[in-house]
Chain A
Amino acid sequence: MEESVLVIHPSDNVGIAKREIQAGEPLTGLQGSPIRARANIPASHKVALVEIDENRPVIKYGETIGLAKSKILAGDWVHTHNLKSERG
């Protein structure tokens, strides 16, 4: 089975689903302790690689793309429901 997650930049705290990932499926293609998807992650969407506290930055491309609306757990799907933008 091909690895399921791509991490664009080493300092990112989210990865990209290379294909649709099912809830409960272990994420592959990562270093460190094993993580399971906590929700279905659609292809090309973001998945949290570590725990991100409320109001802490979500980092992709090594840059802050927004802040966590609420606490995000490793393996969570990250999108508009839990990521707020710092600008309009």
Chain B
Amino acid sequence: MGFQGTRRPDGKAGVRNHVLVLSSVSCANGVVNAIGRSLPGVKAVTHTEGCGRGLADVALSTRTLIGLGSNPNVAGVLLVGLGCEVIRVSDLAAAIAATGKPVECLVIQEQGGSQSTTRKGIEIARRLLEHADSLKREECGWDELILAVECGGSDAMSGVTANPLVGATADWLCGQGGTVILSETTEMIGTDHILARRAATPEVADKIKSLIRKQEGLADVHLGPFKTIAISPGNMDGGLTNIVEKSIGCIIKGGTSTIQEVVDYAEAPKRKGLIIMDTPGSDIFSVTAMVAAGAQIVLFTTGRGSPVGFPIAPVIKIATNTRLFSSMREDMDFNAGRILEGVGLSTAARELNELLTRVAAGEQTRAEANQQDILSLHTVGPAF
């Protein structure tokens, strides 16, 4: 048994049928938002990038935008550009069109301005919505699912209840031939020896070690004395003695499967099984990268209460404690706090897998119902 998904022309399986209206550059955001206001059925996605950045950031943003459009949850794409920006809609469109899904482009400077582009965009997006609505779901295998795991707004119980629970689901999915992406390099500091031991090959082990070393160096340079934020007084008050203990509580959400591959920010994995992706620990940058790499569903644990979702992938919010689950009930999908109240980890994992199956088949998550459509493109250099 797998899940009810929608087959794309490239053979991949989506769990949603979104029409994505996407800016290639922030100058097009006004038009994208106007199209979104007229057609609430589309996912109108804006961002702050597309021009005025160094080469590394242009490459990073381009890869991320192409990845978002190519994600199997997206049935059709309308790209909106300005005309004089660095990241051109035509380049994005050509790459996304390789998936076989419908991709359309509008350039504001060629369409005669904001209002003309908006009118034309509404027309095109309406056609894309009709196409998306006509698609039927079919049985898809778990080996076709890429699951992103994330923690944000963590508390002392994150590493005790919700993260081990998500880890159990991650192990189950890898066992079914599926794929799990574990990200947040900052949160891996102190666990390089553990992750490297689980690597499929010595090359993967070396990549893991150098990745974590690089991130620790970055933390030294950019955070200085604030580097200790990685093991803050709040962590200590919660009973975490050192960064190794704190970081194991974070990486446990990826489960304990063999690590097959290390990929760059927003890079699509070539292998199945457990994948490590190099991203910041900041959760919105991290989720953006994993979905751009093809993840269809996100499992997101939170102890303090993060409401964030993502525009084109359902985000399942898992509370680490019952108090949070009750106090932010409208944002939470699952209560891992019951693990402290006598519910076994295996029982909770079975229930989470059932929820995952329902969400894959179309059941709305709380973040979807709340329209918590939040995305951030990561940058590494200055603006010019």
Q: Which chain A residues have a beta carbon within 8 Å of chain B's beta carbons?
A: 2-3, 6, 8, 16-19, 42-46, 60-61, 63-66, 78-80, 83, 85-87
Cα–Cα, bound, A6→B340 (Å): 7
Q: Which chain B residues have a beta carbon within 8 Å of chain A's beta carbons?
A: 156-157, 159-160, 164, 190, 194, 236, 238-239, 241-245, 248-249, 252, 339-342
Cα–Cα, bound, A85→B248 (Å): 14
Q: Are A66 and B340 in contact (CB under 8 A)?
A: no
A8-B160, A44-B157, A61-B249 known; A2+B342 contact, CB < 8 A: yes
Q: Are A86 and B244 in contact (CB under 8 A)?
A: yes
Residue of A nearest to B242 (CB): A85
Q: Are B241 and A80 in contact (CB under 8 A)?
A: yes
Q: Which residues of B contact A6 (CB under 8 A)?
A: 160, 339-340
Q: Which residues of A contact B242 (CB under 8 A)?
A: 65-66, 80, 83, 85, 87
Q: Which residues of B contact A16 (CB under 8 A)?
A: 160, 239
Give the dominant DSSP class at B's interface. helix
Q: Which 10 A-B pairs have the closest CB atoms?
A: A45-B239, A44-B156, A85-B242, A65-B245, A18-B340, A44-B239, A61-B248, A83-B241, A65-B244, A16-B160
Cα–Cα, bound, A45→B249 (Å): 13
A2-B342, A16-B160, A44-B157 known; A61+B241 contact, CB < 8 A: no
Q: Which residues of A contact B340 (CB under 8 A)?
A: 6, 18-19
Q: Are A46 and B248 in contact (CB under 8 A)?
A: no
A2-B342, A6-B160, A8-B160 known; A46+B249 contact, CB < 8 A: no
